[in-house]
Amino acid sequence: MTGPSAGAPGGEALHRVVYRSEMALVGTAAEVGDEIRAILAASRRNNAAAALTGALLYSGRHFTQVLEGPLDALERTYDRISADLRHSAFDLVQFVPLQARTFGEWGMAYVTPGELDGIWDDRPAFEPSAPLDVEALVAALRRALAAGERGVKVDLPRGRS
């Protein structure tokens, strides 16, 4: 059995999507934290089943997400995400073919800007209107994940659950 690769035909060709959005959740920090955890749980479950990998950067006000995998699955998932009312001001930054996965180990890694300290100090503001160097973002996320404990840190205010 072969895994998804750039050389595979049609909808199996590897692609990457990068978007930014504004967080539209309301509630206490704990309630927002619960929602983010629920988003990550659904993402990890669905992405594993669809052979998608990537990282979600959450600044407290904005999301920046990199998602990669076979084109068909990526498009279906992207359609769901972009219609999700938990964010707004949705801005597609990049949708491109990819030679190889960058986040092969992570169904959906979670990163906060503080984890990029010392890795990408002159990073831009992570908001939809600011210019974004995607390759610099991807490289910084990868380095942050390599530096972290198994790469996945979920450090959010605890709510009811």
Ligand X SMILES: Cc1cc2nc3c(=O)[nH]c(=O)nc-3n(C[C@H](O)[C@H](O)[C@H](O)COP(=O)(O)O)c2cc1C
Q: Are 82 and 116 in contact (CB under 8 A)?
A: no
Asked if 96 interacts with ligand X (CB under 6 A), we say no
Kind of pairing between the strands at 53-58 and 62-70:
antiparallel
Binding residue for ligand X (CB under 6 A) from 3, 6, 29, 42? 42
Binding residue for ligand X (CB under 6 A) from 87, 101, 106, 142? 87
Binding residue for ligand X (CB under 6 A) from 34, 47, 102, 137? 47
Which position has the token pair 């990669």? 68
Task: Please report how close the Cβ of residue 41 comes to ligand X at its closest, in angstroms.
Answer: 9
Distance between CA atoms of residues 38 and 161, nearest Å: 10
Helices in 51-113 by DSSP H: which ranges?
A: 71-82
Asked if 63 interacts with ligand X (CB under 6 A), we say yes
Distance between CA atoms of residues 12 and 14, nearest Å: 6
Q: Are 55 and 145 in contact (CB under 8 A)?
A: yes
**Part in contact with ligand X (CB under 6 A); list of ranges 4-12, 26-34, 39-47, 113-121:** 39-47
Asked if 80 interacts with ligand X (CB under 6 A), we say yes
C-alpha distances out from residue 19 to 3, 133, 152, Å: 25, 12, 20
Number of residues in contact with ligand X under rule CB under 6 A: 16
Residues in 107-126 at the binding interface with ligand X, rule: CB under 6 A? 108
Asked if 53 interacts with ligand X (CB under 6 A), we say no
Contacts with ligand X by CB under 6 A lie at 39, 42-43, 46-47, 56, 63, 65, 67, 77, 80-81, 84, 86-87, 108
